[in-house]
A and B are shown apart, each in its own frame.
Chain A
Amino acid sequence: GQQLNQSPQSMFIQEGEDVSMNCTSSSIFNTWLWYKQDPGEGPVLLIALYKAGELTSNGRLTAQFGITRKDSFLNISASIPSDVGIYFCAGQLQGSARQLTFGSGTQLTVLP
């Protein structure tokens, strides 16, 4: 079953605003990944995190691997209309080498 709690489920923001979303779990993860899904497409990898405490940026996106290894967050700065989509967190559970666990997604809408 679902072991990742992703929040918020949806967000409506004004263009130019910053956005923050996170994933939490009671389990320990070895890897955290953040994906974005555009309408009608499959998810695309945005950022991968491999060590506790790691902070990684990809343009206007910044993600962090929580110190406890049980959480991660994604920030988007100065949002633009093309940021619209569903953002998923995913993680490799400690002891699970063959599959990722996915959060339920955050639907982001950017208003002009």
Chain B
Amino acid sequence: NAGVTQTPKFRVLKTGQSMTLLCAQDMNHEYMYWYRQDPGMGLRLIHYSVGEGTTAKGEVPDGYNVSRLKKQNFLLGLESAAPSQTSVYFCASSYSIIMRGYTFGSGTRLTVV
């Protein structure tokens, strides 16, 4: 049981390049989330999904897009990377009853130069 798997773990992009971060969970969770973590800022929600085929904006959605074509996968896309998007990105998933909390992946460290 792998839990939540994020790929890649590290990536360096040039300004203006695009990329997709993949999150996969094998726990049959309905809800999935993308967060970014920056020093002193805690975890900020980018986008989330409450089920296959659905997505919604979080606190800091600008510059990102997401897709949830399959229940187990949640993709985060950067269309034109900017240095301000240098961050550590975490994916999380949860049951529909979020009282049980989230299960997090181990993160993707992205640097945009």
Contact = CB atoms under 8 A, between A and B. Distances in A.
A42 B99 contact: no
A104 B101 contact: no
Given A2-B42, A88-B42, A100 B98 contact: yes
B101 A98 contact: no
A30 B101 CA distance: 12
Interface string B30-43: 01010000001111
Contacts of A45: 101-103
A104 B104 contact: no
A110 B104 CA distance: 25
Given A2-B42, A88-B43, A104-B40, A98 B99 contact: no
A51 B21 CA distance: 37
B40 A92 contact: no
Majority secondary structure, A binding face: loop
B41 A104 contact: yes
Contacts of B43: 43, 88, 102, 105
Interface residues of B, number: 25
Contacts of A33: 101
Chain A CB within 10 A, most for which of B33, B50, B102, B105: B102
Contacts of A43: 43, 90, 102, 104
A85 interface: no
B48 A98 contact: yes
Given A42-B106, A98-B31, A105 B42 contact: yes
A108 interface: no
A95 interface: no
A49 B9 CA distance: 32
A48 B101 contact: yes
Those 7 A-B pairs whose CB atoms lie nearest each other, nearest first: A42-B104, A104-B42, A102-B43, A31-B99, A33-B101, A45-B101, A42-B106
